[in-house]
Amino acid sequence: MLTLVTGTTGQVGKRFVPRLLAQRESGEQVRVLVRDAVRGEPFAELGAEVVVGDLRDADALGKAVAGADAVVNVAASFRGVPDEEAWAVNRDAAVELGRAALASGVRRFVQVSTGMVYGVGRGRPLTEDDEVRPGGQMWGAYNESKAAAERELLALVGEGMEVRIGRLPFVYGDGDPHLAQSLRWAAHWAPAQRLQMAHHADVAQGLLRLLYAPAVSGPVYNIADDAPVTAVELYRLNGAEPPADLHTHTDPDPWFGIMSNQRIRRDLGFRPIHPSVWSARDAGAL
């Protein structure tokens, strides 16, 4: 089995690929697509095949998917980039990768998406059966382009390729600076406003289950831990004092971004290695 992984130099990809390489069995190969050969060297040292090219280049896509059995598309342009770039990478390039994979005979395509596509809360943990509802806090080109990519990739299922989608919450751990950056948002939250999280080890676990499971009932799965944390807890985790006026803030949508992990637990045997960020802290895994 040959698996192609994209987005390998981002925060998720560069932590996922070493875990994928570490657990591969005899005869399994991993190929990574990178834009810079130098940044691909650490993966080559671990045993990955490196293909240099841009996800938005049709020739590079053809070379990357040639002979592959599966694709894990981690590549994304996150919030803060121009809208045009978000659409070009998150939707257009993802869909073209899916089409190139289908044409090359790839049998399984795992798309890394975001729980932000749910939009507003539902008054309970969000489930994979909930429809996408544009709007709510932080909705924008990133979320909209990810939702559009999901729709167009799932349309390829009828053409003979399995598509499986993993929706991620706020991801942290293994030295990722994301946890410290959370205070940018927490400063404007109500004290009890919650953030759904997942450690990189659990993101990798979830993606590996989507990659290797012989069958799924999904095809969409939330990959999340068991215990969202509050704004006050985020300050404690970062060793900082909450702003004096934090208690004056209100939470307009208490269930925004809170995701259920019951489907992936039931269907694929997922159990968070780090059920909460506190257990990750105690394990020295932040």
**86-106 confidence digits (pLDDT tens):** 999 999 999 999 999 999 999
Is 180 domain-assigned?
no
Better pLDDT: 78 or 235 = 235
Q: What is the CATH number of the domain that holds 159?
A: 3.40.50.720
Is 150 domain-assigned?
yes
User: What pLDDT, on the 0 to 100 scale, is given for residue 12?
Assistant: 97
**26-77 confidence digits (pLDDT tens):** 999 999 999 999 999 999 999 999 999 999 899 999 999 999 999 999 999 9
Is 240 domain-assigned?
no
Total domains present in the chain: 1
User: What pLDDT, on the 0 to 100 scale, is given for residue 61?
Assistant: 94
Is 188 domain-assigned?
no
Q: What percent of the chain has pLDDT over 90?
A: 93
Is 72 domain-assigned?
yes
> Containing domain of residue 166, as a range?
2-170+198-225+259-272
Neighbours of 266 (CB within 10 A): 10
Is 155 domain-assigned?
yes
Is 80 domain-assigned?
yes
Mean of the per-residue pLDDT values of the chain: 95
Confidence at 142, pLDDT banded by 50, 70, 90: very high
User: What pLDDT, on the 0 to 100 scale, is given for residue 107?
Assistant: 95
Q: What is the pTM of this model?
A: 0.96
Is 251 domain-assigned?
no
